[in-house]
Amino acid sequence: MLASLYLVPPTRIEPKTSEKLSFNMSETATHAADSHHGFAHPMPVWQLLAVFFALIALTILTVAQSTWELGSSELVVSLIIATVKASLVILFFMHMIHDKPLNAILFLGSFIFVALFLGFTLMDAAAYRDSIEFKKVEVVTTAE
Amino acid sequence: MSNTTITPDAVHAEHGHEDHGHGHHPFQAHHFDDTQQQYDAGKLGIWLFLVTEVLFFSGMFCAYALYRARNPEVFTFASQFLNANLGAFNTCVLLFSSLTMAWAVRCAQLRQRFGLVLNLAITIGCAALFLGVKAVEYTHKWDMHLLPAGYYIPQFTQTAHHAGVSPWLYRLCAIPAVMLVAFAVWFVMTKIKGEKRHSEIAGSMLFSAALFFVGVGVGVGFQNAEAAAHAAHDDGNHEASAHADDSGHASAEHAHAEDSHAHAAQGEHHESVADSYAMASTEPATGSSTATLVPGAPTLDMVDQPGGAGIFFSIYYCMTGVHAIHILAGMGVLTWLLVRATRNEFDEEYFGPVDYVGLYWHIVDLIWIYLFPLLYLIK
Amino acid sequence: MSAVATTKPTHSHEDADNFLYNSKGFLSWALTLDHKRIGLMYLVGVMSAFLLGGILAMILRTELLTPDKLFLTNQQYNQVFTLHGAVMVFLFIIPSIPAALGNFLVPVMLGAKDVAFPRLNLSSFYLWVTGAIFFLIAMLYTGLDTGWTFYTPYSTDSNGPVIAATLGVFILGFSSIFTGLNFIVTINTMRPPGMTWFRMPLFLWATYATSIIQVLATPVLGITVLLLAAEKVLKIGIFDPDYNGDPVTYQHFFWFYSHPAVYIMILPGMGVISELMSVHSHKAIFGYRFIAYSSIAIALFGFLVWGHHMFTSGMADVTTIIFSALTFTVSIPSAIKVFNWLATMYKGTVQINTAMSYALTFIFLFTIGGLTGLWLGALSTDRPLHDTYFVVAHFHYVMMGGTLVSFLAGLFHWWPKMTGKMFSETYGMISCLFVFVGFNLTFLPQFVLGSRGMPRRYARYLPEFQELHQLSTIGVYVLGLGLFIALGVLIHSMLRGRKAPPNPWGGATLEWQCASPPPFYNFAHPPTVNDPYNYKPLVYRDETLGWEYVAPQAPTVPQLENEPVKAH
């Protein structure tokens, strides 16, 4: 509905609905076929429940795996389980599967910057780690 | 392409915020063309906000990774002091609240007013439940002097767990208690006056405040069971092994000097526990020199680490504390949604606010999904 | 807010219609949701902050007239330079162009009625005010002496109001995030038909790139200062070496924000210059896409180079080498911009007026600032130059010669649009001359001082440096005079200036198609979205003293040439 963009003039002309133009052409082009009210995508209840029970199952799994002897891969396994859970939440509870690609790219892209931040900082810390001398901590007395 | 140069919807300003009858949704802002554009803008905005949240938390994850890489043994040691049962319980609570939140969005889209109000109320209630459990966890650690690095007093076993209720917990519960009473009064008054909508709100609030105390009860129950298990352990009753998921405690338990367990059940304060050691943990200056302590206890080596376990608790408090602040903020906006939901303001064209708050709520859950294994389940 | 919704439905171009006068009273400004009014309020705010920071700079330079104490003790000197740095960075430079000019211009240039979230926009302004008050009270109360960077262990050991100041920074950070978020959403979702990405004026590209940095980097500053406050209160031992914390990590955290923040400061300035170069040369911008992409490239590369602030801080050798190498990548998109600006002027009809004089000053100063940055980015030369006056001179050339001068250029360029008044070109150009001379007189000697080993942040110095220091101090007085003349010119124009035509410079971007100042909802008639740098259809008319489109066709919206429209 491009016309209503601008401030107004003396007369009113009702727009023909067929002339509605998607406001943001480049990005809503894929939505062009949608009807005007078509942007709500209610999640089916079974999907919500399935995701929830999957999440609970994975929580049980991650608690269980903490008792297994996995050695150094323990952290990796628990992070993989957490990431699977996070993906379920993002895809279904957060509706990313119905969302625009741009939003998904933005959100997932932010992890690139997180990786950059953590990567450089940790790499540096690991590299100068041996040059650090730890001092014994003096514990501050609490009020008691 | 339209050649219309004249905008049809007259001077918006002329109408103020009123709905002026040609197809505009009452909650469509004037600078947007239609509700879809408004929704898309809001959606992009909230995703961007989530991006800032991710980067905000990344700082603490960075600190976590840094210190865990540097002192893995400190993390293994200190993580035993966290109650994995409570962590798992809280994880489930948050997951359930995510379910109800997602369901609330669905209800908003389908104009199911009752479902929306109910789901929002449950979501707020779960948040309160979570905080109730968290309150128990925090106060329990304060009792044990498991504090950030600068105030940390070394613990030599994890048996400083104690039964009973921390005095800190009473103080922390004061505000929720006042709120509980206030909501109860409000609820009764609305019932008497017959204000249906207000009683819905007041009832939801009352329900949430009550759930906080349910959380406190659950937390204290778990802690007491834990302490009882430690005490019982001495008698050869391996009740503790029932906590199959609580490996950190279970394994550490076996490693510890036996006599200390007896104190666990009776000790209200850490002093009573600490007395059983060679060193009183209230003498801070000795905190770094651990050589004299409890000869033979395997955890000694772990304690005798540079920096001690305080850094773990620093990170624990920062991460869970900031997370808890997000929960509180979430409860605030959810309450705002609840009030709007009782006014029946959402429909298939205008459910943006529910959706946006939902996204925020899910990311709070998402962060907890990572915090739980990273903090509670270190072995 | 109801205050802004009281426009009379008039469609004349009279005062009653424009955004300055369409509603009256204090509340109509304080509670306005109009992006133009918020922009103006930001403008007043950042200029007040600049005045404060500038006065502090003069105090510092005056103290440095003599090698020994003139009137400030060492501690007072520390407090004054901290206050100068913090006020300039957090209160002036970061919000200057994006929040003040950006708020005014982004929706108008885009052809939208307002930003996507007007209430968020207003709250961003009030967060700025809150942060500023917080910050200033904190610092004036006892004086902060840590430097604007709050490095640990200075900040953890300092008795100054570090907690209050960091909370102030936290709040200002949110103000910045909200502005950036708003612009990204506005540019993504509120472009009118015909306004494709590659028809957007380059200022919008620059603002978009800036907003990306604001959204991605500022949260890390937030958590950094929050952890620092926690460090002071709870002694968490993450940054504080007293508890086995790691101060180098603090610097990583801090610069992960603050280096990209350097591009928050300079990118909008580059956007302003891209507009001015084209408009005042009456020639299409050279290499539009290169300038547009280079803005995005700078924003992204800006995240890869923060370590070059830390070469001498105890970072591991391997990391310093990587960061040094990466630092040079940023010079590529910056150089692309400078070459394209120069190429735009080539064979153009260059109009030397106040705005253009400032823009040319920018190019000169920014080039010096940028090139000296290479010396500091190179590991070998940075070792001796680190923490000397060379660094001070370098970043003042970029921050002040770059951001401040482009801010002034943009301010003069869009002043007629904002206020509807023309200013005195003669005095405007005189102010530019003073600024140019004063600036170079202030900071060129500092390059020499630095290369001779004068360390920064010192209140006292060896007598052999006195002449250069005095030269620098004289320069700052000239610079200050120039800035006061500029302020006078602007104030005079508001009182006595003649009425501005809609398009005094012959710009082809959308803001020049609406009245000066713009009406409440920006456009009395739908603007024609066209090539933003096509000046051919514009002619100068003596009657109006402004530029108009020849043969103004009945405006069809949008006018899309050779592009099929995806209507449905």
Tell me which of C110 and A140 has the higher pLDDT: C110
Residues in chain A with CB shorter than 8 Å from the CB of C242 are: 138
Given a cut of 50, is residue C94 above it in pLDDT?
yes
For residue C487, count other CB atoms closer than 10 A to its CB.
14
From residue B204, alpha-carbon distances to B109, B125, B186, B369 in Å are 21, 8, 11, 26
DSSP-assigned beta bridge partners for residue C540: C547
pLDDT digits (tens, 9 = 90+) for C250-263: 999 999 999 999 99
Q: Which of B1, B52, B62 sits opposite C565 (nearest CB)?
A: B1
DSSP state of A91: I
Residue from C306, C319, C324 whose CB has the most chain A CBs within 10 Å, to mutate: C319
Residue in B closest to C111 by C-alpha: B31
| Cα B371 from chain centroid (whole Å) | 11
**pLDDT computed for residue C555 by the predictor:** 53
Query: A62-66, B212-216, C100-104: which has the minimum mean pLDDT?
Result: A62-66
In this prediction, residue C19 carries a pLDDT of 86
What's the complex ipTM? 0.91
Contacts with B149 from chain C: Cβ below 8 Å: 235-238, 243-245
Q: Using a pLDDT cut of 70, give the percent of chain C over it.
A: 94
Give the pLDDT of residue B278: 32
CA distances to B140, B217, B224, C51, C446 from B164, rounded to whole Å, are 10, 11, 7, 60, 68
In A35-74, the residues whose Cβ lies within 8 Å of chain B are: 36-37, 39-43, 45, 48-49, 51-52, 55-56, 59-60, 62-64, 66-67, 74
Residues pairing with C421 in the sheet? C499
Give chain C's length: 568
In chain B, residues with a C-beta closer than 8 Å to the C-beta of C249 are: 62-63, 66
What confidence score (pLDDT) does residue C556 get? 53
For chains A and B, CB pairs below 8 A equal: 241
Mean pLDDT of the region C343-359: 94
- The CA distance from A86 to the nearest CA of chain C, in Å, is 21
b/e sequence B189-199, b meaning 16+ C-beta within 10 Å = ebeeeeeeebb
How many alpha carbons lie under 13 Å from residue C163 in its C-beta half-sphere? 8
CB of A88 less than 8 A from some CB of B: no
Q: For A74-130, what is each residue's pLDDT tens digit? A: 889 999 999 999 999 999 999 998 899 999 999 999 999 999 999 999 999 988 887
Q: Which helix (H) or strand (E) holds C538?
A: strand C538-541
| Digit-coded pLDDT (tens) for C286-301 | 999 999 999 999 999 9
Answer whether residue C126 shows pLDDT above 90. Answer: yes
Give the one of A36, A56, A107 whose C-beta lies nearest to B50's C-beta: A107
> CA-CA distance, C295 to C289, in Å (whole number)?
10
Alpha-carbon dihedral sign for residues C495, C501, C507, C509: positive
Q: Is the pLDDT of residue A13 over 80?
A: no
**Closest chain B residue to C215 measured between Cα atoms?**
B52
Q: What is the pLDDT of residues C37-79, one digit of tens each?
A: 999 999 999 999 999 999 999 999 999 999 999 999 999 999 9
**DSSP label of C543:** T
Q: Pick the more confident residue, C200 or B6.
A: C200
Contact C502, C546 (CB under 8 A): yes
Q: Do A127 and C252 touch (CB under 8 A)?
A: no
What integer best gives the mean pLDDT of chain C? 90
Contact list in B for residue A82 (CB cut-off 8 A) is 369-370, 372-374
Maximum alpha-carbon separation in chain C: 77
- The DSSP-derived string for C546-568 is EEEESS-PPPPSS--SS------
C-alpha span between A140 and B285 (Å, rounded): 8
pLDDT tens-digit profile of B311-334? 899 999 999 999 999 999 999 999
Q: Do A121 and C253 touch (CB under 8 A)?
A: yes
Please, which pLDDT band fits residue B12 given cuts at 50, 70 and 90? very low
Question: Which of C238, C249, C560, C565 to mutate against chain B (most B CBs within 10 Å)?
Answer: C238
**pLDDT band, residue A41 (cuts 50/70/90):** confident
With beta carbons under 8 A apart, name residues in chain A contacting B105.
Answer: 42-43, 95
Long-range contacts of C538-542 (CB under 8 A, 24+ apart): C538/C503, C538/C506, C538/C508, C540/C506
**Does position A73 have pLDDT exceeding 90, yes or no?**
no
Residue C20, pLDDT score = 85
Q: Which of C116, C188, C238 has its CB closest to that of B63? A: C238
- Closest partner CB to A137 (pick from B70, B91, B149): B149
Q: C323 or B258: whose pLDDT is higher?
A: C323
Work out whether strand C538-541 and strand C546-549 pair parallel, antiparallel, or are unpaired.
antiparallel
At residue B61, the pLDDT reads: 96
Is C113 within 8 Å of B306 when comparing Cβ atoms? Answer: no
- Give how far B5 is from chain C: nearest CA, Å: 6
pTM: 0.85
Is residue C144 scored above 90 in pLDDT? no
Q: Is the pLDDT of residue C562 over 60?
A: no
Chain A residues in contact with C525 by the CB 8 A cut-off are 6, 9
CA distance B131 to chain C (A): 21
Residues 97-126 of A with CB under 8 A from B: 99-100, 102-103, 106-107, 109-111, 113-114, 117-118, 121-122, 125-126
Size of interface A-C (CB pairs under 8 A): 108
Chains that contact B by 3+ CB pairs under 8 Å? A, C
Does the structure show a pLDDT above 50 at B288?
A: no
Task: Show the tokens assigned to B218.
Answer: 């659950």
Q: Mind telling me how many Å the CA of A69 is from chain C's nearest CA?
A: 31
Q: Verify whether the Cβ–Cβ distance A8 to B7 is below 8 Å.
A: yes
Per the CB < 8 A criterion, the answer to whether C369 and C395 are in contact is yes
Question: Which whole-number Å values give the CA distances from C44 to B128, B165, C97, C400, in the listed order?
Answer: 44, 56, 12, 18
CA angle B320, B321, B326 (to 5 degrees): 95
pLDDT per residue over C390-412, tens digit each?
A: 999 999 999 999 999 999 999 99
Is the pLDDT at A131 greater than 70? The verdict is: yes
pLDDT value of position C529 = 84
Whether C536 and C565 have beta carbons less than 8 Å apart is answered as no
Contact B43 A137 (CB under 8 A): no
Task: At B312, list the tokens.
Answer: 């773990």
Select the residue of C11, C241, C558 nearest A10 (Cβ to Cβ).
C11
pLDDT of residue B299: 42
> Which residue, among C113, C198, C216, would best test binding to A if mutated, counting the most A CBs under 10 Å from its CB?
C216
Query: Considering chain C, what percentage of its residues have pLDDT values greater than 90?
Result: 74
A12 contacts B282? CB cut-off 8 A: no
**Nearest-CA distance B197 → chain C (Å):** 27
pLDDT beyond 80 at C238: yes
Both structure tokens of C415:
């002043």
Does the pLDDT at position B254 exceed 80? no
Q: Which of C306, C372, C308 is nearest to C334 (CA)?
A: C372
Give the neighbours of chain C: at least 3 Cβ pairs within 8 Å.
Answer: A, B
Instruction: Judge whether C246 is closer than 8 Å to chain A, CB to CB.
Output: yes
Tokens standing for residue C443: 């900071």
Peptide bond preceding B373 in cis form (omega within 30 of 0): no
Asked if C566 lies within 8 A of A29 by C-beta distance, the reply is yes
Of A89, A94, A118, the CB nearest to B65: A118
